[in-house]
Structure 1
């Protein structure tokens, strides 16, 4: 399949890609959204913090979004994986795993992030059910409950005060050396936060609900939930492959409008931010789409001027 008349190809169909598609569809642009259908939040039962959609499942969120976007016939969805990109601004060609090719003027990466395999036995079984990564998304459901925080170093010293807003009944497991300074350890002690640095042997759970964390030194820590720091990588290698500037964890560098250093290429959502929340991703997608639309309109306007 080839389509030589696309204005924009969006790679990724999460909140960022979907909101971008909505804005561009309303702006009468021809858009393809290429998405493989394996979102990172597929393990999550509910999405929180999104006004009018608080508590919705990720699958239902996507279904409703696609139904709304279907009102704009210039947008279509492709269940496929983008595997390579060639060309330059105004003349990009995207090849997919199913052998299709799409040509477009502008490109938006909304590829999100993905988790590396979880190396703590039992963590995968509770992830999204009683183990989470973001208290803004899932802290309310675990308020005042006894929790285990799996984290270490500077990241831990950011997270510990944060989680204390939802519960003061939490224990820290650093799963090895804590990577803290003496002053940081003293700060945790002053706030009466227990901490263990023995490696985690396994997480004991029943039907996805954690019961206790078992350490290699024999310590058992009963709890009702877990917050942990995930090991993330960007959801696609394509931004790096075409020369986008990449920061830590593979995050794509963008300006305030979502522009990358490659002309005609934009990025939005978790792939371009450390604020990994659905509503933040959707907002970034909307802003990037508006910038893309403006760029397309200005280019068309000036091309018309050249004919006079």
Structure 2
């Protein structure tokens, strides 16, 4: 049923992470009526610190969210509700979003800032160290892991991740976890002094979240104190596809430089519409999407002013 207690929003933002909150801030300052639907389960909650975001380097994800909510609260036209978006109908100018608790909200424009979600890791011990001594982004966490003995577990992304992590440590080892690797890649790694271990991984040995060793099925234990790995990800929501939004092979929304999708009135920002996976990048994308959405609304309102002087 329609929620009789709320007026139609100018913008409904689905997802309250860095991208969604950045867009909400821009739109709130533009005096737009904004509703943010946020499940409050951000992907980066497993990490102790967020890095690479100017003026907030080293802040915890929870503190980042707290400060963002406090600052957005200065703009009363922005509301947050903690729930999930379960279904969306309608089109540009009159989208109807039904939440998991059965309420329906109407918005003129939509912004998906739903990010990505981690699929099960299926590697014993990896969850114990994820966000403590095992990471996915060297730009976010490489400084803290610099000069450590680092394990690279990345499947088809091995060469790219190894080259990147090499900027922070010379002590690298690649673990294929039993997956076949092209012989030329293995030879290149070995020529550069990077050992390659082909046996499947039995478990990640750790103490209090700190990696101690990679234990292989053949009984070998290779001492490592840090891990960079390529996670398996899925889109945080399938609703963009339900609406007809174009996505790429990874499920990421295809958007232009201001976050506009191929579906009129629907925008995307953050990890679910990019593959940069950095807080600073998500904040920037959310800001640009907020400006893009407001520009469309200004144009519509300007036309109405001409038609209805």
Match of 1:173 in 2: 175
Match of 2:97 in 1: 94
Match of 1:203 in 2: 204
TM-score (norm 2): 0.97
Match of 1:162 in 2: 164
Using the TM superposition, give the Cα deviation of residue 144 of structure 1 relative to its aligned residue in structure 2, in angstroms: 0.4
Residues 188-245 of structure 1 show CA distances to partners (whole Å, capped at 9, x for unaligned) of 1121000111110011111111111100011111111111100000111111111111
2:21 to 18, 22, 30: 18
Give aligned pairs, total: 306
1:1-308 equivalences under 5 Å are: 1-2=3-4, 3-153=6-156, 155-180=157-182, 182-307=183-308
SS at match of 1:221: strand
Hey, which bits of structure 1, 4+ residues long, moved more than 6 A?
Answer: none
Take 1:299 and 1:177, find their aligned partners in 2: how far apart are those partners? Answer: 54
* Structure 1 gap ranges (5+): none
* Structure 2 gap ranges (5+): none
- Greater shift, 3-12 or 14-23, is seen at 3-12
Take 1:216 and 1:27, find their aligned partners in 2: how far apart are those partners? Answer: 58
Take 2:78 and 2:155, find their aligned partners in 1: how far apart are those partners? Answer: 44
Residues 92-138 of structure 1 show CA distances to partners (whole Å, capped at 9, x for unaligned) of 01000112211010000000000001100110111111111011111
Residues 279-305 of structure 1 show CA distances to partners (whole Å, capped at 9, x for unaligned) of 000000000010000000100101221
Take 1:4 and 1:90, find their aligned partners in 2: how far apart are those partners? Answer: 14
SS at match of 1:298: helix
